[in-house]
Structure 1
């Protein structure tokens, strides 16, 4: 079946050579008992080897073009494929063997050991986090009304006074109040440092003068006299006021400066007084009720999740984890919660005998049923694979698996033929 000479071919050639040698000895020494025995044995060995070569070759092809009852495997390929499918389904995947192998597997210890490996735990937790993230994003739009209703209920329970008090404490604790004052001071300093601001201060001083003098002739006379002798110079006064204003804004924008602390203390004092006013209390409650009634929370929630979903899809297209990219704290917390539940589940399965037996029985039944249902699928696969093979490929598939045995069959034909030939020769000599 393969290219080149194999052991059986070499054996047959050796036997043929011995036959030629024995024949030449017989012709040279026609009355020699040894030459006759050697010729008889080599002839029988050659016939046996050729007969077995013919028989083995006839299984796969037509030896010497002989057409009758040869090339058995290609001619009976449909029956061979059907028998192979039956063998695989009934023997390799029989119910008895499947369940016997499953009983030897010890499914639960293997599964629990695999689940407890750090790499597997990290991978499974990550997959669960991604699943929860995608599930929440898919459900968010459908549940927008419920989410908005819950938000409205939560906001309705918040008292405005408590909210303002908490907001003030948060500003103080985080230092946002000082940051806010610094930004305001920096903004007004940039506005007050311009020439236009100085001209506005001058215009205010002039307007104040006009307001105070009015139609009083004597006051107008004194003001004109003061300007004439340069006793009152509005340009210099505006510049001086501007410098003083800038110095005050610089101090206000300085971290923990006396003016900044005084300003913040005054702010919190007045805010606390305002928070205790009944009128302010009534106003804030009316404002809260009005906002909760007219605030489009549903639309806001839908748009928020639409934007989140869009960003998440863009990040996934770039192979970037959206939660890790935008909400790392949320992802860390979600991973922590899922990991805790994951380990608690393993602990329960391992230590609760009833649960352990239930899960083990379920897995055993699931794997057994899956393997039994795989019989049909395996049959289809085997049929499809074998049907795609050509006759030559099918011959090689079978021959390669049993080649050593077939070669020994051929060699045994020569060996047995030689033995029988010697035995027959001996019997003939005895009877003669």
Structure 2
């Protein structure tokens, strides 16, 4: 508080100068009424200024070392701190004022405006995706594998094989996968048919066929021997010719939209449709489906998949890498799309349903009010902690800085009022005398 002379100190110094001047004039002119009045008023002003200086200073320290009932604020700091805590809690953060301010807030419009911001939507969608990812990482693989396996079996069991084959055939036609499959198959068999082993197998097949036909007929054996002798029948050349024809047929079969390919696919779909309506085929595929659902090891397979995914995801998280973005960008993108779509639906529902908005607004009001009331105690703790950590000098400075102009005027008013009262008393004494 000692930052040089302030206007109250200057006023007190001026009053002292006036008193000394008045005293000198009174000693010089003892019979002068004006000199006596000036001395009486300046003396009263000096006493009033000193008294108020003492009173103001005694609030914060011991003026001139006077020990009795001085340095009031440092001595009563505990009571002051408690009063400050009570003031903040009961007045600034009272329940009435908190509820009054909350009632003036338009919570739902503010919330809807915030939720409609693109940045808010993007941030919330990302947080939900990350939450879903982390939630899945914490789940027990065995338990969820059993649930998913049961759902998969129920879904497969609900599918009729005939409908499945019909859908599968339609999908093959629409996507062109049937042509790609036939092309790959033709290429594979073309590679196999072009080998020397294939030609030898064809020749051996022809020779075996001949042997089977002439086995018990001596005249057929004789004719075959004669034909081979004059080189009219050559099984090697016949096998080579058959191989060339097979390769040409496979090349045409592997050519997209070739007549042979179209004929083969048309025949396939035609016979598949006929086969799909055969009772024997119906019974066979249902038995195969039941056997597959019964023996398919879905649980261990899904559990192993979940375990491997968890290990890889945890390794990526340890390296600050998003596992979904790293290994499954399509899945993460799809999750973001689904969550964003549901987010928009939720906002639309909140805008259209007045009852829902009322419930949400009431819930938010209750949460904020309860939080504010709990914060009331927290604020009291903070105020107490801050004020208790201040030294006496810091506490004095904190209070003095807030009321310094008023304290200075109190001191100045002491001199002004003292001078006025002194002048009035002097006049009264003169009138009475």
TM class by shorter-chain length? 0.7 to 0.9
> For residue 350 of structure 2, what is the aligned residue in structure 1?
345
Partner SS for 1:67: coil
Residue 388 in structure 1 maps to residue 389 in structure 2: yes
- Report the alpha carbon displacement of residue 345 of structure 1 after superposing the two structures with TM: 3.5
Q: Which of 327-336 and 283-292 deviates more?
A: 327-336
The SS at the match of 2:257 is coil
2: CA distance, partners of 1:62 / 1:6: 19
Residue from 331, 334, 342 that aligns with 1:329: 334
Name the counterpart of 1:55.
55
Q: Deviations over 1:12-59 (max 9, x none)?
A: 344344445555655666666555544444443333333222222221
For residues 392 and 118 of structure 1, what CA distance do their matches in structure 2 show? 52
Pick closer, same or farther for the CA change 1:360–1:64 going to 2, 3 Å.
Answer: same
> Do the aligned residues in 1 keep the contact of 2:192 with 2:198 (CA within 8 Å)?
no
Which of residues 315, 318, 327 is equivalent to 2:321? 318
In 2, distance between residues paired with 1:244 and 1:18? 137
Mapped to 1, the partners of 2:7 and 2:375 lie a distance apart of 42
Structure 1 residue 234, shift from structure 2 partner: 6.2
- Which aligned pairs between 1:60-139 and structure 2 lie closer than 5 A? 60-105=60-105, 107=107, 110-111=110-111, 120=120, 127=127
Distance 1:52 1:235 in 2: 136
Quote the residue 2:218 is aligned against. Answer: none
The 2-side partners of 1:370 and 1:76 are apart by: 33
The whole-number CA distance in structure 2 between the counterparts of 1:301 and 1:68 is 86
Pair 1:169–1:404, CA change in 2 (3 A): same
CA distance in 1, matches of 2:389, 2:366: 35
Report the alpha carbon displacement of residue 406 of structure 1 after superposing the two structures with TM: 1.4
Q: Work out the CA distance in 2 between the residues paired with 1:383 and 1:249.
A: 93
Using the alignment, how far apart are the partners of 2:175 and 2:373 within structure 1?
A: 65
Pairwise CA distance, 1:391: 1.9
Q: Unaligned stretches of 5+ in structure 1? A: none
Are the structure 2 counterparts of residues 346 and 315 from structure 1 closer, same or farther at C-alpha, using a change threshold of 3 Å? farther
Contact kept? 1:185, 1:250, Cα under 8 Å: yes
Query: In terms of mean alpha carbon deviation, does 58-67 or 271-280 score higher?
Result: 271-280
Cα-to-partner distance string for 1:156-203 (whole Å, 9 max, x where unaligned)? 1222222112111111111122222333344555666xxxx5433454
Question: CA 1:257 to 1:406, structure 2 compared with 1: closer, same or farther past 3 Å?
Answer: farther
8 Å CA contact retained: 2:60, 2:70: yes
Measure how far apart 1:290 and its partner are: 1.1
Pair 1:199 & 2:196 matched:
yes
How many residue pairs match? The answer is 420
Checking the alignment, whether the CA contact within 8 Å between 1:315 and 1:321 is kept in structure 2 is no
For 1:260 and 1:148, the matched residues in 2 are separated by 40
- Counterpart-to-counterpart distance in 2, 1:312 and 1:16: 85
Counterpart for residue 266 of structure 1: 267
Structure 2 match to 1:3? 3
Task: State the secondary structure of the residue aligned to 1:60.
Answer: coil
Q: CA deviation at 1:292?
A: 0.8
TM-score (norm 1): 0.77
Query: 1:359-378 CA distances to partner (integer Å, 9 max, x unpaired)?
Result: 65555555445544444333
2-structure distance, mates of 1:73, 1:285: 94
Give the Cα–Cα distance (whole angstroms) in 2 for the partners of residues 16 and 368 of structure 1: 59
RMSD of aligned alpha carbons:
4.1
Displacement after TM superposition at 1:76 (Å): 0.9
The CA distance in 1 between the partners of 2:247 and 2:136, in whole Å, is: 53
Report the Cα distance in structure 1 between the residues aligned to 2:24 and 2:222, rounded to whole angstroms: 166
Judge which range, 246-255 or 259-268, deviates more: 246-255
**Residue matched to 1:378:** 379
Partners of 2:324 and 2:65 lie apart in 1 by 69
TM-score (norm 2): 0.77
Matched, 1:180 2:181: yes
Tell me how far apart the structure 1 counterparts of residues 23 and 230 of structure 2 sit (CA, whole Å).
Answer: 161
Change (3 A) 1:172 1:411: same
Provide structure 2 residue ranges, at least 5 long, that are not aligned to the other structure: 216-220
Q: 1:45 aligns to what?
A: 45
SS in 2 for 1:344: helix
Once residues 300 and 397 of structure 1 are traced to their aligned partners in structure 2, the CA distance between those partners, rounded to angstroms, is 71
